[in-house]
Amino acid sequence: MNIGLVDVDGHNFPNFALMRLSAYYKAKGHLVEWALPAQRYDKVLASKVFTFSSDYDYSLLNAKEVIKGGTGYDITGRLPEAVENSRMMDYFIYPQYPFSLQFFSRGCIRKCPFCLVREKEGYIQSVEPVELNPKGKWIEVLDNNFFANPQ
């Protein structure tokens, strides 16, 4: 299967979900690349973290199926269980970032009115670490409240 990826936010930080999805599909032998208008795709996987990010023009892509995910589209959406439970990460889709990404916990102890973390991820809980970047020089810890983690 030929799979295209779209990082809708296009911000200056790697998209954790796309890295997990890319690793999962590559491990199954599929071709995974950044989606380009000139290519044909069996599936395009798009991730949007922020609701304020402009949407991508999917009409530019030649794809049999487009799957949009992330909090920017739907706070209740989740990665497939097999992907969510995997420790694999594809750091090679973001070669410009010389670091590893890591969560030691997800969720939050607070219920701030401006934040979606507690609603999306629930109360703070420990999670299994993911693979490190083989070319990483440091680790970026992404926990929302590292010191609130009971573990």
pLDDT along the chain (151 residues), means of 10: 97 92 98 97 97 94 97 94 96 96 94 90 93 96 84 72
CA distance 86 to 145: 23
* Residue 91: predicted pLDDT: 98
* Residue 84: predicted pLDDT: 92
Torsion angle (degrees, nearest 10) of CA 146, 68, 88, 14: -60
Cα dihedral 90, 96, 100, 103 sign: negative
